[in-house]
Structure 1
Amino acid sequence: METLMEWFFTTLGALVVIYYGVKLLLFTRMLFPKRCFPVPKSFFSSMGEWAVVTGASEGIGRQYALALAEQGMNVVIMSRTRETLDKVAQEISESTGRMVKVIVADFIQDNIFSDIEEQLKYLDIGVLVNNVGMLPSVVPRRFLEEEDLDQIITSVINCNVKTMVKMCKIILPGMENRRKGVIVNIASGIASIPFPLYSLYAASKIFVERFSQGLHGEYKDKGVIIQAVTPFGVSTRMVGYQQTNMVMLSPQDFVKSSMQYITAGDKTYGTVRHMLLGWLLNSIPLKIFYSESMLHGLQEYVERKQAEKKRSSSVLSEA
C-alpha cells in the first residue's frame, strides 16, 4: 500500500512539473516571436492579392490596413463614414502604392451584407481582419443603466457578433477553395473573465473568441489560419484616446506586434504585455473582482479619467 501511495504522489508530482514546464516553455516562446513564429516578408501577400479590413477608418483597423498594404497587398477598407475612409485610402495609396477600394457600410444596420458580397465577389482575398466593434459606453455601467437599452442590444450584437460571422461566411469559401488564407478577428482582453459593468460588450467579444477558435479547428487543415486577437488597452476612440504607457499601446505598436504572432495559434493577446495582464486578471478571485467596492472603484477611476480628458481638451481649445 505504501509503495502504491508513493508511486501515486511521485507520478502526480512529475505531471505537475511537466504541466508547468510546458506552460513556461510556451510563455518563453511568446517572448521571441521572430524566432519562434517566423513570418516571411511575403507571407501575407502570398495568401492572395487583396486584404479586407472592417472598421478601417481609424485606430486598430486603419493600422492593419496600412500594415497589410506595406506587406504588398491591395486593401478593401470598410466603415460607415466615406469622408474618413477616402482620407485613409489616399494615405495608404500614396505611402505604399497599393490599390485601395472603399466600401461604406454601417455595421449596426441589418441587410447590408448582400451589397458587400457583390462588391467583393471577384476579388482574390487572402486576408480578412474583422476589426469593427462598438462599446456602448466608455464609462462602466450596469446593464439596466444604459439609455435606449433595446437599441444598444441590437447594435452591439449586429456590430460585434453578426458582422464577424457574416464576413467569414462571405470570404471563407474562397480561402477554402484556394486552400490558403488568414482571418483575424479582434476580440478583447476583458472577455478573459465575466466582466461586470461591461457585461454586454465582454459577452459579445467572448463569442468572437470562441467562434474564431472553433472555426480554426474546422479549417486549419484546409490551409486557413483563423485567429482571435484579444487586446487590453489600445489608445483608440473606443477608450477615449487614453495616453499610451506600458499597458496602453498605440494602434501602430499593437498591430506591429500582433502581426508577429499570426502563426502562434488560434488565440493571442497580440503582445507580451497584454498576455501578462491577462494572466494577472485570471489570477484574481472572482469574489474579489465582483465586490461592490471594486466595481465602484472602477467606475470612479474611469469617470475621473474622462473628466480629466475633457478639462484638458477645454484648456487646449481656449488657448
Structure 2
Amino acid sequence: MDLMELFFISLGIALVVYYGVKLVLFSRMLFPKLWFPLPKAFFTSMGDWAVVTGASEGIGRAYAFALAERGMNVVIMSRTKATLDQVAKGIGETTGQRVKVIVMDFTDETVFTRIEEQLKDLNVGVLVNNVGMLPTYIPCEFLDTEELDKTITKMINCNVKTMVKMCKIILPGMENRRKGVIVNVSSGIASVPFPLYTLYASSKVFVERFSQGLQAEYKDRGILIQTVAPFGVSTRMAGYQQTNIVTLSPEDFVKRSLLYLRAGDKTHGSVCHIVLGWLLQSIPLKLLYAESVLHGLQDYVKKKTRQRESLSASRTISDK
C-alpha cells in the first residue's frame, strides 16, 4: 500500500467517523426528554420568580404561562398595560401563581433604572429576554427603511441593549446564589447573513454571540444561558401565519423548546426548526441571494400582509 492510498483510506475513515458522530448528536434531538431530562422541580429550584420581557403576546406570553405552570411566580414586562393585565389575569386564574406587571417601552434607553428598582427585592431564578422588533414588516434593503435613523436607534435599544441590560440587572443575583437560567430569544434567520432583513438578523447575531460568550463565562457558576432561535412561529411579527408542521403556535414552540434547555448554548427549539437551520446553512449563499429569490420573498410577505389586513378588516365589519 503506497502513501497516497493510505492517505485516502485514512481520509475516508475520518469522514465516516465525523459524520457518524454528527448523526449521533443529531439523533439526540429527536428524543430530548431522554437525552436532556429536567427534574420536575428544576425551574422552582432556580428561584421564586421568572422575568419575561415582551410578555404581552406571542412567544413571551407563552413563556410566562409555561413558567407559571411549572410553579414560578412571573414578572411580565411590555409596553401595553391593558394586554399585560389580561395576561396577568389569565396566569393567575389558570395557575394560581403571583404575577407582577411592569409596563416599559424598551425602545427607550432610560427605563432600566426603574426596572432594576422594581426587581431588586425579588429572587429571580429565570430570565427570558424575548422582546424584539422588526424594522418593517415588509422586508426591504437597508437604505429603503423608513425613518432609518430612528429605526436604527430603536432596533439597537430593543433587540440588543435591552438583553444586555436585563442580564446586567439579573445576573449578579444568580451569581451570588450560584444558580439560574437565562433564555435569550434570537431568530433562525440569523443563521446566515440575510438580505432584506439585514438590520434585524444582525441584531439577532449579537444576541447569539453575547449569549454564547456569557455562558462560557458563567457556566461553572451554576448558571445556564441559552439562545433560542426559532423559525416559523405564528405571532404578530410573523403575520399570524397558519400553524403547520413548520410554523408552530407560540405555546407549542415554547413547550418544545424548554425540552432542549440542556441541549447546548443554542437551540432552534424543535426538531423541524433544527432541520430548517441545517438546510439554511447548507444552501449556497449565491442561490439565497439571487434577485429572483429576494423579490419572491418580498412578494410573498406583501401578499400575506394584504391577506391579513383584508381578514382583519372583514372581521371588523362583521363585528359592527
Bin for the TM-score computed over the shorter chain: over 0.9
Cα offset for 1:83?
1.3
1:239 corresponds to which letter in structure 2? Answer: A
Instruction: Extract unaligned runs of 5+ from structure 2.
Output: none
**Counterpart-to-counterpart distance in 1, 2:83 and 2:316:** 23
Report the AA paired with residue 242 of structure 1: Q
- In structure 2, what is the equivalent of residue 232 of structure 1? 231
Shifted more, 57-66 versus 10-19: the winner is: 10-19
Report how far residue 175 of structure 1 moved: 0.8
- Paired residue for 1:167? 166
CA distance in 1, matches of 2:20, 2:129: 34
1:75 corresponds to: 74
Cα shift at 1:8: 2.2
Give the aligned partner of residue 292 of structure 2: 293
Q: Which secondary structure does the structure 1 equivalent of 2:227 belong to? A: strand
Could you say which residue in structure 2 is the equivalent of 1:16? 15
In 1: Cα distance, 2:37 partner to 2:80 partner: 36
What's the CA shift for 1:22?
A: 1.0
1:61-98 Cα shifts (integer Å, max 9, x gaps): 01101110110011111011111111111111111111
Residue pair 2:179, 2:223 contacting (<8 A) in 1 also: yes
In the alignment, which residue of structure 2 is the partner of 1:190?
A: 189
Aligned partner of residue 38 in structure 1, secondary structure: coil
SS at match of 1:118: helix
How far apart, in 2, do the equivalents of 1:199 and 1:26 lie?
A: 31
Partner of residue 244, structure 1: 243
1:50-199 aligned within 5 A: 50-199=49-198
What's the secondary structure of 1:165's corresponding residue? helix
Instruction: State the SS of the aligned residue for 1:239.
Output: coil
Contact 2:239 / 2:304 at 8 angstroms: preserved in 1? Answer: no
Which deviates more from structure 2 when the two are superposed, residues 188-197 or residues 170-179? 170-179
Letter of the 2:289 partner, please give it. Answer: Y
SS at structure 2 position matched to 1:135: coil
CA deviation after TM superposition for structure 1 residue 58, in Å: 0.6
The Cα shift of 1:7 comes to 2.8
Q: Deviations over 1:34-56 (max 9, x none)?
A: 11111122111110011000000
Task: Within 5 Å, give how 1:307-318 maps onto structure 2.
Answer: 307-318=306-317
Structure 2 CA distance for aligned equivalents of residues 21 and 230 of structure 1: 25
SS at match of 1:72: coil
180-189 or 77-86: which moved more? 77-86
Moved more, 3-12 or 248-257: 3-12
How far the C-alpha of 1:283 sits from its partner, in A, is 1.2
Q: Secondary structure at the match of 2:140?
A: coil
Distance in 1, Cα, partners of 2:201 & 2:312: 29
Number of aligned positions between the proteins: 318
Partner of 1:254: 253
State the match for 1:34 in structure 2: 33
In structure 1, what residue type is equivalent to 2:162? T
Partners in 1 of 2:210 and 2:170 — Cα distance? Answer: 15
TM-score where L is the length of structure 2: 0.97
Q: What SS does the corresponding residue of 1:139 show, helix, strand or coil?
A: coil
59-68 vs 300-309, greater mean Cα deviation: 300-309
Name 2:268's counterpart in structure 1.
Answer: 269
Q: Secondary structure at the match of 2:122?
A: coil
Q: What amino acid is aligned across from residue 73 of structure 2 in structure 1?
A: N
SS at match of 1:209: helix
Q: CA RMSD of the aligned region, Å? A: 1.0
Scaled by the length of structure 1, the TM-score of the pair is 0.98
Q: Secondary structure at the match of 1:44?
A: helix
Query: What is the aligned-residue identity percentage?
Result: 69
Secondary structure in structure 2 of the residue aligned to 1:27 = helix
How far 1:5 sits from its partner (Å)? Answer: 2.4
AA aligned opposite 1:93: G
Q: How far apart, in 1, do the equivalents of 2:107 and 2:4 lie?
A: 61
Number of the residue aligned with 2:46: 47
Provide, for residues 234-292 of structure 1, a one-character-per-residue CA deviation record: whole Å limited to 9, x for no partner.
Answer: 11111121111121110000000000111110000000111111111111110111111
Partner Cα separation in structure 2 for residue 95 and residue 316 of structure 1:
29
- 1:196 positional shift: 0.4
The one-letter code sitting in structure 2 at the alignment partner of 1:186 is: V
AA of the residue aligned to 1:135? L
Structure-1 separation of matches of 2:214 and 2:93 = 36
How far apart, CA to CA, are the structure 2 residues paired with 1:192 and 1:71? 31
Structure 1 distance, partners of 2:296, 2:62, is 33
Q: C-alpha distance in 2, partners of 1:122/1:273?
A: 40
